[in-house]
Amino acid sequence: MTLVGSAQATSSSTLGDVLEIRGGRPLTGQVDVKGAKNLATKAMVASLLGETPSTLRDVPEIRDVEVVRSLLEVHGVSVSEGDEPGSLVFDTAQAKSANFEEIDAHAGSSRIPILFCGPLLHLLGQAFIPDLGGCRIGDRPIDFHLDALRNFGAVVDKEPNGIRLSAPDGLHGASIELPYPSVGATEQVLLTAVRAKGVTELRNAAIEPEIMDLIGVLQKMGAIISYEPNRVIFIEGVDELHGYDHRSLFDRNEAASWACAALATDGEIFVKGARQYEMLTFLNVFRKVGGSFDITDEGIWFRRAAKPLKPVMVETDVHPGFMTDWQQPLIVALTQAEGVSIVHETVYENRLGFTHALGQMGADIVVHPKGLDGAYRRVARRELEQAAVITGPTPLHGADIVVPDLRGGYAYVIAALAAEGTSRVSNVGIIRRGYEKFFDKLTALGADFDIVG
Ligand code: EPZ
């Protein structure tokens, strides 16, 4: 029986989309984690704001980067290899408008196109953004983005297959308070405010490390951005920005995923490039579950120390809380913990659907669609939250699985690697969208698998 994850998966159409995984072997070895998917793509968009070429280093070779590269190229930006492996140069000298067909053909399954609004309005005075893709882990509305753009003076018209924007009188500074510290909406404001006329005050901003790295990129370009206490960011608009030369911070979500793989398979993985500071909250939970880690200047060793693992209560939250992107791989490890663990997903309304297929592999996971109360809660309760109650340890057995989304898909691969027996995992292309050289890394860690479709 083929198990479908939380979202209806598209049919597999390219080689490298179906894996046959033989589980029960620990993953041991080293993986190199390069630039963060959720920074590199945004820094690429920021290059549109520069009057001179920009260079981005440690760019991960992932689908989301290819999508943004294509979108930049259809807008006349020349993208070329830089002076070191993994670097790209963006030259906006010939930047121009693109027609809908070109944009739509390249927007793909990404959410990044929405961040082109501000830069294109500054550059061309108008923009068209096709309806967005991205992981189906909730409605993923963009109301915060559109409200902010209107606040800057943009005219925003919803069309049947996207959004048309114009700024006949240019864009001016704004006073914006986000209803929730949205990462994307914060990036939208930053990428628009830096060239707007006047000062922008952003309150209740997201402050994830990727956001701070994007602020670093913009500051290198000549922007004036002050990061104040209590999630307040002031941006003084400037008339001109030049290109940047920037090395993306490492992908802490990928690093956390490999750490959970070490826990779940009782292996030992060195994640080269991982740094403690951006992973503090994750490392605390990792230790409480029974993992141990050694931090070096080059990266972090992750391994299981306790047998069996220990149960925990985790609430996902905005930074510096426990990232929502970390909970899916962690839940697989918690199926091997002795006792009852609870994961409260407070950021997205449908990010626990992936647990259904884990149940078919032998896990004991109950999802509470309206979440769970409890005196111990520290994160403010949100209407849309849900909770997963994981009782372990439960041996996992192989199954046929279809990947539903990026992090859920990775979690399925960990489960298949930890399970006894063979699993067929389909729709793996989604995982390769966000994890660079995914198959090479599995092979380097001793995973026993074949590409069968
Ligand atoms: C970014 O998504 C990341 N994606 C996500 O990573 C990450 O999980 C998320 O931030 C939270 O950290 C990228 O950077 C490409 P949000 P984003 O806006 O910006 C609601 C991954 O696996 N909201 O912070 O889309 C929203 O529905 C991906 O790499 C509105 O209501 O996340 C959600 O409940 C998955 N209206 C909450 O805010 C809006 O206009 C947080 O979303 C925008 C958001």
| Cα 409 to Cα 442: distance, rounded to the nearest angstrom | 14
Among 64, 140, 156, the mutation site with the greatest number of ligand 1 atoms within 8 A of its Cβ is: 140
Compute, in angstroms, the gap from residue 182 CA to the centroid of ligand 1: 6
Region 384-394 average pLDDT: 96
pLDDT value at position 10?
A: 43
Q: pLDDT by residue (tens digit) across 30-74?
A: 999 999 999 999 999 999 999 999 999 999 999 999 999 999 999
Q: What is the arithmetic mean of pLDDT over 132-161? A: 88
Residues carrying CATH 3.65.10.10, the chain: 5-33+250-451, 37-247
| pLDDT band for position 136 (cuts 50, 70, 90) | confident
Maximum Cα interatomic distance, the chain, rounded to a whole number of Å: 64
The pLDDT score that the predictor gives to residue 4 is 42
In this model, does residue 171 exceed pLDDT 70? yes
Q: Which residues pair with 356 in a beta bridge?
A: none
For the entire predicted model, the pTM comes to 0.95
pLDDT tens for each residue of 193-223 = 999 999 999 999 999 999 999 999 999 999 9
Q: Which of 332, 415, 395, 334 is nearest to 21 (CA)?
A: 415
Using a 6 Å CB cutoff, which residues line ligand 1? Answer: 37-38, 111, 135, 138-145, 180, 182-185, 206, 253, 324-325, 347-348, 406-407, 434
On whether the CB atoms of residues 398 and 23 are closer than 8 A, the answer is: yes
What is the model's pLDDT at position 3? 46
**pLDDT tops 90 at residue 16:** no
Give the pLDDT of residue 275: 98
In this prediction, residue 285 carries a pLDDT of: 98
Q: Which CATH code, of 3.30.360.10, 1.10.3720.10, 3.65.10.10, 3.90.1170.20, is assigned to 5-33+250-451?
A: 3.65.10.10
Q: Using one digit for the tens of pLDDT, what is the confidence trace for 237-290?
A: 999 999 999 999 999 999 999 999 999 999 999 999 999 999 999 999 999 999
- The CATH architecture one would assign to domain 37-247 is Alpha-beta prism (3.65)
Other CB atoms within a 10 A radius of the CB of residue 45 amount to: 24
Mean pLDDT, the chain, rounded, equals 93
Q: Are 248 and 213 in contact (CB under 8 A)?
A: yes
Instruction: Return the DSSP state at 404.
Output: -
- Return the ligand 1 atom nearest residue 405 CA: 22
Three-state DSSP state, 253: helix
